Structure 1
Amino acid sequence: MIRSRMATFGVLALLLAACGGNGAATQQKKSELTLYNDKGAWTKFFDEMGALSKQRIGLGMKPTGYTDSAQYQAFIKASFRTNVKPDLFTWQTGGMLEEIVKQRQVAETTAVWQEAIKAGDLSQDLMPYYTIGGKQYCVPMNVAYWGMFYNKKIFDEHGLQPPATWDDLVKAAATLKKAGVTPFYHTSVLFSFVWFEQLMAGMDPDLYDRLSTGKAKYTDPGVVRVMEKWKELIDAGYFMNPGDKTDPGDVMKTGKAAMVSFGTWFNTSMTQRDLKAGTDYGFFVIPNVDPALPKTSVIFESGPLCSLTKAADPEAGTKYLKWWTTAEAQEKWATTRGDVSANPKVTIKDEALGQITKDAGGGKYRLVNRYFEATPPPILTAALDGFGKFVTEPGTYKEVLETIQKEADEYWSTHQ
C-alpha cells in the first residue's frame, strides 16, 4: 500500500512539473519525439535509435525510462486525462492493450502493418497479437522467446550439458544442489508468474489456453497439479530466496544461481555485463514436463511500441513507427542489445538465439502467449500477488488458487 501511494505521488509530481513547462500538447510539427517506456535499463539503446532515426528520417527520439512497472502504467493512464502526453510509449499486448484501445487512446496502425507485411518487414503470424476489433494498433517494439539462461562455467565445472528432457533438467538441478550451488532463480515480485506459466505450458498447454479465456478454473485438478509440481521443486531446495533483491543479471554473473528463466531480451543484461555467449553463459529451450506432448511449448511475447490518438503530432508518430519496423532500424535495435528481432530479414548473430528464432518461425515449437499478456489485468493482479505469496509460503497453494479464481469468476461473469 505504501509503495502504491508513493508511486501515485511520484506520478502526480511528474504531471505537475510537466504542466508547468512545455508538457502541454501542441499542434506544431515535431523534429524530436518523446518515448516513455518501462525499460529504464535500455536508455542507452533507445538513445542510439534516436540518433539513427534523426539521421535517416529527420526525426529524433528522446527516451524517458521507468524501472517501476506500476508507476509507469499509472503515469501513462494519467496522461490520457492531461496535456502531458507521450509521443510514443511502450505497453503490453493482450488485455492491457485492449483496455486502452477500447478507451480510444491508441492510434490505429493498420496501414503500417499492411505495408510492413508486404515489404517482408513484419510477419503475418505476429498480427493477431496487435489486432483488436479487426484493426491493428501499435507495432512490435520487441519479440522474445523464453527459455533458460545458464552459467556455462558452472555447468562445465560440474560436467553438465543443456538438458534434452525435463528429467535431465531435474537431475542437473539435483547435481548442483548437492554440490552447494543454487540451481534456479525466482522472485516474489512482478515475475512471480514465470514458473507457473512454464510448468503449465509444459504439462498441459491446452489447459493454459482455456485458463486465459475463462474456460477453465484455477481450482481445476490440472492447475492444482502444476502448483504441486512447482512446490516439489521449491521443497527440494532448487530455488534461491525469492525475496533476494539481487538483479538477475548479477545472479547469473556471480553464479548466485546457475540458471535464470527469462525471455531472449535478457541477453541484453548479459551483454551489458560484458559476458560472452558460449563462454560465460548459454541458452536452452526448457523441455516439456510431459514428454508425450507433440511439440515443445515455448513461451512467447511481443511488446508494443504505440502512439496516442491525441498525440501532439500524430503524423510524426506514424512515421516513426513505420521506420521502426524496417530492416535498417531493426538491425540496429537487435544488434546493439544482442537480442532477436521482429523483422524476419534481420540476422541474429548469437547462435543460440538465432536458432530458437529460426525454429520458432519454422513451426518447430508450440508458441504459448506469455502469462502477463494472456491473462486479463484484474486476474493478473490477483495472480501476481498470489504467486508472490506462494513462493514464500509453498503450503498455501490451494488458498492462492482459490483467491485467484474468485477474481476470475468476477471478471468472466461480465466479460464472456
Structure 2
Amino acid sequence: MKFVRARVLTALVAAASLALTACGGGDDKDSGSGTKTELKLYNDKGAWGPYFEEVGKLSQEQIGIGMKPVGYTDEPTYSAFIKASFRTNNKPDLFTWSTGGRLEEIVESGQVAETTDLWKEAVAAGDLSKELESTYTYNGKQYCVPLNISYWVMFYNKKVFDDNGVKPPTTWAELMASADTLKGKGIKPFYHTSVLFSFVWFQQLLIGTDPELYNKLATGEAKYTDPGVVAVMERWKQMIDGGYFSDPGSKEDPAVQLKTGKTAMGIFGTWFNTSMTQQGMKPGQDYGMFVIPTVTPGSGKNTVAFESGPLCSLAKAPDTASSTKYMKWWVQQPAQEKWANSRGDVSANPKVTIPDPGLATIAKAAGDGEYSLANRYFEAAPAPVLTAALDAFGAFMVDTGSYMKQLQNIQKAADEYWKGR
C-alpha cells in the first residue's frame, strides 16, 4: 500500500506543479509571425540540463530555433505532468518519453505527432538506421525520434578492482568469484535500488538465463509464475540475502557510491557515463565498463539490454512546424555530435564518431552482432504491467521472502492487460 500512496501523492504534487506552470506560461519567444524562435523541451533528465543547453545554442546558430530545457528529476512527477498537459492548454513544444508500452499508450490516445516522413528522410540520408525504426513504429507509422540510445553494461571502479586483484570477468562464475572477494573486504559488490530502476537485476538475470523467456513475458506468451521466472527470483533472493548489494533504499547518488568505492559495480545504460564524468572521474582511468556474462554457461552470445529514449512532439503542439523542424535537425550529424559527445555516450546517428574507446568498443561489437540485444524491460513490458512490476520488485527488495506473492501480483496485471488482446 505504501507504494500506491506514494504514487497518489506524486500525482497530487504534479497536478499542483502543473497548475502553477500554467499560470506562468506563455513566456516562449516568438518571432511575431507565429513561428517560435525558442522551444521548451520538457524532460525527466534534470541532470542533463547543461548538455541540452549546449545543443540549444547550436540549434539557434544553425536553424534559428533555440531550445530551453525544463528538467525534472522525479520520473513519476514528470510522467504525471506530461499526461496532464494533454488535457490543458499548457502544452510542451517537445518532450522526452520512453519507447515500448509507455509510448504506445500515448500514441493510442492520439496525442503524439507522427514522424513517418521524417524517418524516411533520415534513413535515406544515413542519419538513422532502418534497424532502429521498428522501435518507433506502431501500426506501420513512426512516432518521435531517438533522443538517445544506450547499451546496459556493468560499470566498475578500476581502483577498487586493482587494489583487490579483481579483473573484469568473462564468465558468470568469475563475476561472482570477484564479488565474493570484494564482499570479503567489506565492499558491496553491486549497486541496487528500489526506486524506478528496481527492474534492472530481474532483467539482467533473466536475459542472462533465458532470453527467449524474457521476450515471451513481453508478449504475454509466458507468465511471471512460470518456473524459469521463479528460478530467477530465487537466484536474486539468494544474492540479496547473501549481502551482495548496496542498500536499495539509499538516496546517495550511485555515481558517488562508485566513485567513493562504497560500491564496486553497477548495471546502467551507457548514458551513465555522463554521471561518472560529472563526478570528475576519467573513463578508462578511474572507471571502466564490461558486458555482463551470461548466467547459464554455454548458452551462446551474451545478451545485452538495449534502450532508445524518444524525443517527441504533440499532435497539437504549440507550433507544429517549429517542433518538426527541430526534430529533423536533431537527428542530423552536427546536432548528434554535440549531443552524444558532450555527454560521453553513443549516438543513434551512425555517422557520429565515438571518441571514448570503451564506448566505441561496446557500440561496435553490438553493431557487428557480437551480442544479442534485448529491449530494456522498462520499454518491453506493457505500461500497466510495468507499473505493477516496479512496485513488486521494490517490495521484494524489502521482503525477499515475498517473491512469489510479488510475481503473482505482476501476473495479475499481465492477465488483465492481455485479456481479449
TM-score by structure 1 length? 0.97
Partner residue in 1 for 2:208? 202
SS in 2 for 1:177: helix
Matches within 5 A, 1:92-131: 92-131=98-137
**1:84 alignment partner in structure 2:** 90
Against the structure 1 CA distance between its residues 309 and 395, is the aligned structure 2 distance closer, same or farther, given a 3 Å change threshold? same
Which stretch of structure 1 is more off in the superposition, 288-297 or 274-283? 288-297
Decide which moves more: 345-354 or 52-61.
345-354
CA shift, 1:331, in A, is 0.5
Match for residue 51 of structure 2?
45
Relative to structure 1, is the Cα distance of residues 92 and 295 closer, same or farther in structure 2, using a 3 angstrom cutoff?
same
Q: Which residue of 1 aligns with 2:22?
A: 19
The range that moved more, 56-65 or 237-246, is 237-246
Q: Distance in 2 between matches of 1:248 and 1:354?
A: 23
Identify which of 149, 155, 158 aligns with 1:143: 149
**Structure 2 residue 393 is matched with structure 1 residue 387:** yes
Q: Does 1:28 align with 2:31?
A: no
Given candidates 183, 191, 196, the residue that maps to 2:189 is 183
Measure how far apart 1:399 and its partner are.
1.2
* Cα shift at 1:9: 3.4
Quick one: distance in 1 between partners of 2:408 and 2:108? 30
In 1, the alpha carbon distance for the partners of 2:267 and 2:404 equals 25
1:227 paired to 2:233: yes
* Equivalent position to 1:68, from 74, 83, 88: 74
- Contact kept? 1:23, 1:85, Cα under 8 Å: no
Equivalent of residue 293 in structure 1, options 277, 299, 320: 299
Cα 1:294–1:2, aligned 2, differ >3 Å: closer, same or farther?
Answer: closer
Q: Which residue of 1 aligns with 2:349?
A: 343
Q: Name the counterpart of 2:179.
A: 173
Deviations 1:310-359 (A, max 9, x none): 01111111110011101111100111101111111111111111111011
Q: SS of 2:305's equivalent?
A: strand
Alpha-carbon distance change, 389 to 277 in structure 1, aligned in 2, over 3 angstroms: same
Q: Secondary structure at the match of 1:283?
A: strand
Name the CA distance, whole Å, in 2 between partners of 1:190 and 1:316.
33
Structure 2 counterpart SS, 1:28: coil
Q: Residues 387, 21 of structure 1: CA spacing in aligned structure 2 closer, same or farther, 3 A cutoff?
A: closer
Counterpart CA distance in 1 for 2:11 and 2:231 is 38
Q: Please give the root-mean-square deviation of Cα atoms over the aligned residues, in Å.
A: 1.4
The DSSP-based 3-state class of the residue aligned with 1:258 is strand
Distance in structure 2 (CA, Å) of the matches to 1:10 and 1:43: 22
The AA in structure 2 aligned to 1:198 is Q
Segments of 5+ residues of structure 2 without an aligned counterpart are none
In 2, Cα distance between equivalents of 1:22 and 1:295: 51
Matched, 1:367 2:373: yes
**SS of aligned partner of 1:367:** strand
Residues in 1 aligned to 2:338 and 2:229: alpha-carbon distance in whole angstroms: 42
Change (3 A) 1:67 1:282: same
Amino acid at match of 1:19: A
Give SS of 1:161's match.
coil
Name the CA distance, whole Å, in 2 between partners of 1:379 and 1:14.
27
Matches within 5 A, 1:228-243: 228-243=234-249
Q: Which residue of 1 aligns with 2:285?
A: 279
Deviation for aligned residue 1:100: 0.8
Alpha-carbon distance, 1:47 to partner: 0.7
Distance (whole Å) between structure 2 residues aligned to residue 100 and residue 281 of structure 1: 38
- The aligned counterpart of 2:262 is 256
**Number of equivalences:** 415
CA contact (8 A) 1:23 1:83 kept: no
Per-residue displacement from partner, 1:255-314 (whole Å, max 9, x unpaired)? 110001100000000111110111110000000001222211000000000001101111
One-letter amino acid of the counterpart of residue 273, structure 1 = Q
In the TM superposition, what is the alpha-carbon distance from 1:24 to its structure 2 partner?
9.6
1:220 to partner: Cα distance: 0.2
Q: Per-residue displacement from partner, 1:54-84 (whole Å, max 9, x unpaired)?
A: 0011000011000111110111011111100
